[in-house]
Amino acid sequence: MEFESTLQRSRTYTGVLAALQEQGIDGRSLATLEQSGARDTGRVLSLLRDFPGLAANGLVDAPRVSFALSRSFGGAYIQMNAALAAIDLEPRRDDSRFRRGARPPANSPWQIGNAVPLDDAGAATPSAAYPRVGQIAPLDVRAGLPWPVRYQGNRGTCVAFAVAALVELERCRRGERIDLSEQFLYWAIKTHGNDGLPNQDGTWLQFALAVLASHGIAEEALWEYEQRLDPDNISHGGPDRPSAAVLRDALTRAIGAGVHVDAPVAAAVPVLDLLRQGRAVAASLPVFVDPMGRGRSNWDAAIAVNLGQVLDPPPTAVMDGAHAVCLTGFAADPDEPAGGYFILRNSWSERWGANLPAPGVHGPEPGYGQISASYVDRYLLEYAAL
């Protein structure tokens, strides 16, 4: 398939930048694309489509970059461009949006409204430097277990989904295949936790771990998740919701021991160490948008919806919120400045990363995806493991 061969041919970071350099693209454009993680044609095109501020602010010569890619990759460029354009045409009803719900810790240097600076504005050639993680063999803590992704709907409950995934995987190691109730966990956070915002959607990982210790988590079959937000009842609890039987069931899965770190510095290495121990990691990360864009973020840009590739935030992008996911593995990649990509399990259904698996992309199946070690190193807000 031509689309697949495009990915295989153009995924090498040096190759894409080299092609642009050969076509005479200026050094500022190259440095900006490098910082933005543009290591294949798909991500370059997605950046140009979803972050028009790069061109408007003179950071990327978008017409020349597009023309250079078309000359270098020909019909493959046309095929990729058409695939991304098709995603832009999909209807986006309120109940089908890719919703977030994590919040940045107060001591994090990244808060809503912060803009991403340009690394090296005077650079003539790409020159960003990152500490590299030392991992060559691929990691996958799922151990081959079939584990379909969930869907949080239009509620800001991603933290509950990420932490419930930790417990599900821990139970799988004991030979127990179980679907756990994100609804119960989120109710416990909002009604018995200390997040301080019981009537606002969204929360922090630290409070999810706290109620996991005090209240546990019930089976999904006992309290099924409701995808539509009730703005007048954020927790979706009520009289006899949960029932005494559900509370008793949840307490059988109370887990007190765990790891939690907020506002980490250079977090890629300690997160990778947890994965090496066979432990999945719940991670809260910033979401960035272009103030001049069309409403898509670096998490639901066309290339992310298509192939689960979370874009590194480009310069001038602004933090618009945060999203929590479960990190389940790592894939080394010498073209990624920090050494590779963390594999993430999202809670946006199989419509995100919909065309996985694909050659040259690390996400294993629809609903999963990849995020660079550089992104985790620079921007991770909070992480937790059991």
Residue 147 or residue 247, greater confidence: 247
If you average pLDDT over each of 69-83, 94-108, 141-155, which comes out highest? Answer: 141-155
pLDDT of residue 222 exceeding 60, the answer is yes
Q: What pLDDT is recorded for position 335?
A: 85
User: For the residues 153-171, what does the mean pLDDT come to?
Assistant: 97
pLDDT digits (tens, 9 = 90+) for 37-64: 988 889 999 999 999 999 999 999 999 9
Q: Does one domain contain both 178 and 311?
A: yes
Domain boundary among 93, 127, 157: 93
Q: Does one domain contain both 39 and 170?
A: no
- Three-class SS of the chain: CHHHHHHHHHCCHHHHHHHHHHCCCCHHHHHHHHHCCCCCHHHHHHHHHHCCHHHHCCCCCHHHHHHHHHHHHHHHHHHHHHHHHHHHCCCCCHHHCCCCCECCCCCCCCCCCCECCCCCCCCCCCCCCCCCCCCCCCEECCCCCCCCCCECCCCCCHHHHHHHHHHHHHHHHCCCCCCECHHHHHHHHHHHCCCCCCCCCCECHHHHHHHHHHCCCCEHHHCCCCCCCCCCCCCCCECCECCHHHHHHHHCCCCCCCEEEECCCCCHHHHHHHHHCCCCEEEEEEEEECCCCCCCECCCCHHHHHHCECCCCCCCCEEEEEEEEEEEEEEECCCCCCCEEEEEECCECCCCCCCCCCCCCCCCCCCEEEEEHHHHHHHCCEEEEC
- pLDDT classification of 14: cutoffs 50, 70, 90: low
Q: Does one domain contain both 74 and 219?
A: no
Q: Does one domain contain both 206 and 351?
A: yes
Average pLDDT, the chain: 88
Q: What pLDDT is recorded for position 346?
A: 98
User: Is 112 within the bounds of a domain?
Assistant: no
Q: Does one domain contain both 151 and 205?
A: yes
User: Is 332 within the bounds of a domain?
Assistant: yes
Domain boundary among 73, 93, 113: 93
Residue 14 or residue 19, greater confidence: 19
Q: Domains in the chain: how many in total? A: 2
Q: Does one domain contain both 315 and 234?
A: yes
User: Is 226 within the bounds of a domain?
Assistant: yes
Q: Does one domain contain both 189 and 73?
A: no
pLDDT of residue 384 exceeding 60, the answer is yes
Q: Does one domain contain both 225 and 85?
A: no
User: Is 128 within the bounds of a domain?
Assistant: no
Q: Does one domain contain both 187 and 71?
A: no
Q: What pLDDT is recorded for position 146?
A: 80
Domain boundary among 32, 59, 93: 93
pLDDT digits (tens, 9 = 90+) for 63-99: 999 999 988 887 777 777 777 777 765 545 443 468 9
pLDDT digits (tens, 9 = 90+) for 185-203: 999 999 999 999 999 999 9
Q: What is the CATH number of the domain that holds 279?
A: 3.90.70.10
pLDDT digits (tens, 9 = 90+) for 249-295: 999 999 998 999 999 989 999 999 999 999 999 999 999 999 998 78
- pLDDT classification of 239: cutoffs 50, 70, 90: very high
**What is the pTM for the complete model shown?**
0.91
User: Is 123 within the bounds of a domain?
Assistant: no
Q: Which domain holds residue 146?
A: 139-385
- pLDDT classification of 131: cutoffs 50, 70, 90: low
Q: What pLDDT is recorded for position 120?
A: 61
